[in-house]
């Protein structure tokens, strides 16, 4: 169950709409409290989840600051199959969320706060870190964002992409080289 709506830095998804709705209802003589109309939220979250289009995640909060959008995500699976012994575990050893860059929405850069969960396997006593299909280990960008940067550099230049995306030229160049290397490995033909 979600408890948090927004945070001090931005606005929670729906909270402005809910307050506006509450005011409107009051002017029409209908008394209601915010908690009463809270059940409207899941539907809006559903649309945000669809928009995000990443598997197995839900948007927990949404905030906007200085031209950037921050989406805090939650994962829908309670546990994983241990990659060492294949035993299912939902015992969380620790969770250290990370911030990763994702594709922009309406011209605004997007950061995702993604849970980085380490489980504990009672069977083999190891503590595997959860692997996420949209994010490689130890990366600060989603796979699709890296792919996007790679394609943009092919069309433009590292400098132009750096300016457009508010990334340093070094960051752009590193992403490009990384994706190019990965494509070479998988045998994809490069057009560069």
Residues that bind Zn ion (CB under 5 A): 82, 84-85, 87, 121, 123-124
* Minimum distance of Zn ion from residue 133's CB (angstroms): 20
CB-CB contact of 84 with 123 (8 Å): no
Q: Which is nearer to Zn ion, 123 or 181 (CB)?
A: 123
* Least separation in angstroms between CB 186 and Zn ion: 29
Closest CB to Zn ion among 77 and 157?
A: 77
Q: Minimum distance between the CB of residue 129 and Zn ion, rounded to whole angstroms? A: 13
Instruction: Measure the N-to-C terminal CA separation of the chain; round to a whole number of Å.
Output: 49
Nearest to Zn ion of 127, 140 (CB atom): 127
CB of 82 to Zn ion, least distance (A): 3
Nearest residue (CB) to Zn ion, 61 versus 89: 89
């Amino acid at each position: 169950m979600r408890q948090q709506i927004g945070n001090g830095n931005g606005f929670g998804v729906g909270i402005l709409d809910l307050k506006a709705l509450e005011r409107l209802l009051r002017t029409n003589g209908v008394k209601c409290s915010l908690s009463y109309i809270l059940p409207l939220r899941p539907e809006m979250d559903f649309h945000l989840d669809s928009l995000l289009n990443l598997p197995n995640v839900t948007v927990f909060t949404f905030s906007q600051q200085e031209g950037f959008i921050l989406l805090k995500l939650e994962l829908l699976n309670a546990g994983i199959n241990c990659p060492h012994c294949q035993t299912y575990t939902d015992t969380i050893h620790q969770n250290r969320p990370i911030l990763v860059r994702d594709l922009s929405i309406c011209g605004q850069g997007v950061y995702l706060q993604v849970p980085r969960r380490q489980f504990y396997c009672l069977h083999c006593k190891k503590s595997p870190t959860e692997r996420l299909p949209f994010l490689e280990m130890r990366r600060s960008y989603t796979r699709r964002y890296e792919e996007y940067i790679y394609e943009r550099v092919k069309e433009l230049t590292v400098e132009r992409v750096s300016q457009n995306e508010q990334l340093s030229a070094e960051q752009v160049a590193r992403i490009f080289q990384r994706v190019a290397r990965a494509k070479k490995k998988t045998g994809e033909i490069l057009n560069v």
